[in-house]
């Protein structure tokens, strides 16, 4: 069932079930981590890292590099759909690239109006467009016209650039352009990633549009998810760093939502095989210079949730040799298996 239909079906029932999306995070939540996290379970849909559109028509190989799932029906190996995200400010160029991307069969196309990076904003992309609602509407409309009618076009925004005074207008511009869903990262560009996330502003956005709205920002725990749902009024949440730090977060949220808190907890021994799978994928698919760093990056975030990850991180922190790390991963798996069977 398409995600939009799934949202509607869930709302139509007597109990509204959370829809949980996996966020795009440049340099962190790429196709490798999408693969592993969706194997852990609980996620309904993913969004790719942004594909930056400047002044050229990109070849297929670029789209496939960012979203290799396009070669598998736009789904991860666990069967979770992946929506491809584009970032750019020129309506014509965005439309041309969206049309080429659409020919590759994505689950949908998402448009990034939230990236706070200076290098992106300096060229008028990402969150910079939150200062120009009319420009946003033009970009969304151009993409909507360029792709098949059945293909969802969604958008992600922040609450604003320096402040929130245009958040309603920006959301309305996205809907007017033809967006079928809106993810709201509940911070401004000026807020960056500093806590807190201002979920209390999301009801204002929801009231301004009639399309589904997804809440995003600072959801690290089940309690955060429950509070975000209550404050924002959203039944769909997007998880980012929180699910990277606790890969079982989506499953835990679902268990709590079903009245069974703690029933589907992922412990370290459960996670280790996924960590090993991640390392194998990193070695298979990424450049040698990236491999050790990617493992350390994930372990660093896992320290927030698992005491064992602190020990693991300290062990590999200074390691660079791929063979030595592989030996360590194999040993880690053996010890975890032994501990689980004890």
Among residues 115, 170, 228, 234, the one annotated as catalytic is: 115
CA nearest to 217, candidates 161, 156, 171: 156
How far is residue 279's CA from residue 15's CA, in Å, rounded to a whole number? 39
CB 326, CB 279: distance < 8 Å: yes
Task: Report the Cα–Cα distance between both ends of the chain, in Å, rounded.
Answer: 41
The 3-state secondary structure of the chain reads CCHHHHHHHHHHCCCCCCEEEECCECCCECHHHHHHHHHHCCCCEEEEEEEECCCCCCCHHHHHHHCHHHHHCCECCCCCEEEEEEECCCHHHHHHHHHHHHCCCCCCEEEEECCCCHHHHCCCCHHHHHHCHHHHHHHHHHHHHHCCCCCCEEEEEECCCCCCCCHHHHHHHHHHHCCCCEEEECCCCCCCCCCCCCHHHHHHHHHHCCCCEEEECCCCCHHHHHHHHHHHCCCEEEECHHHHHCCCHHHHHHHHHCCCCCCCCCCHHHHHHHHHHHHHHHHHHCCHHHHHHHHHHHHHHHCCCCHHHHHHHHHHCCCCCHHHHHHHHHHHHHHHHHHHHC
Dihedrals phi, psi of 227, to nearest 5 degrees: -70, -40
170 classed as catalytic: no
Instruction: Output the CA torsion sign for 102, 106, 108, 114.
Output: negative
Q: How far apart are CA 58 and CA 10, in angstroms?
A: 37
Q: Which amino acids are annotated catalytic?
A: 115
């Amino acid at each position: 069932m398409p995600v939009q239909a799934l949202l509607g079906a869930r709302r139509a029932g007597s109990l509204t079930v959370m829809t949980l999306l996996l966020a795009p995070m440049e340099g962190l939540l790429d196709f490798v981590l999408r693969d592993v996290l969706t194997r852990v379970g609980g996620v309904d849909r993913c969004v790719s890292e942004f594909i930056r559109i400047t002044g050229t028509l990109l070849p297929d190989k670029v789209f496939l590099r960012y979203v290799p799932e396009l070669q598998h029906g736009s789904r991860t190996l666990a069967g979770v759909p992946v929506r491809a995200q584009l970032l750019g400010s020129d309506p014509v160029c965005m439309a041309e690239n969206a049309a080429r991307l659409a020919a590759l069969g994505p689950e949908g196309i998402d448009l990034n109006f939230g990236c706070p990076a200076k290098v992106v904003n300096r060229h008028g992309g990402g969150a910079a467009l939150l200062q120009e609602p009319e420009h946003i509407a033009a970009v969304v409309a151009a993409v909507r016209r360029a792709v098949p009618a059945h293909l969802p076009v969604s958008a992600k925004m922040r609450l604003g650039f320096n402040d929130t005074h245009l958040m309603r207008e920006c959301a309305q511009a996205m809907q007017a352009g033809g967006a079928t869903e809106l993810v709201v990262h509940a911070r401004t560009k000026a807020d960056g990633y500093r806590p807190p996330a201002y979920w209390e502003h999301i009801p204002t956005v929801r009231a301004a549009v009639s399309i589904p709205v997804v809440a995003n920002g600072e959801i690290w725990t089940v309690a955060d998810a429950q509070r975000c749902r209550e404050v924002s009024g959203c039944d769909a949440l997007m998880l980012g760093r929180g699910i990277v730090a606790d890969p079982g977060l989506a499953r835990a949220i679902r268990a709590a939502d079903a009245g069974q808190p703690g029933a589907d907890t992922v412990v370290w021994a459960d996670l280790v095989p996924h960590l090993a799978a991640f390392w194998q994928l990193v070695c298979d698919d990424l450049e040698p210079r990236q491999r050790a760093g990617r493992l350390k990056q994930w372990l660093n975030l896992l320290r927030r949730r698992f005491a064992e990850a602190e020990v693991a991180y300290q062990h590999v922190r200074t390691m660079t040799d791929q063979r030595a790390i592989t030996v360590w991963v194999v040993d880690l798996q053996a010890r975890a298996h032994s501990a689980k069977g004890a």
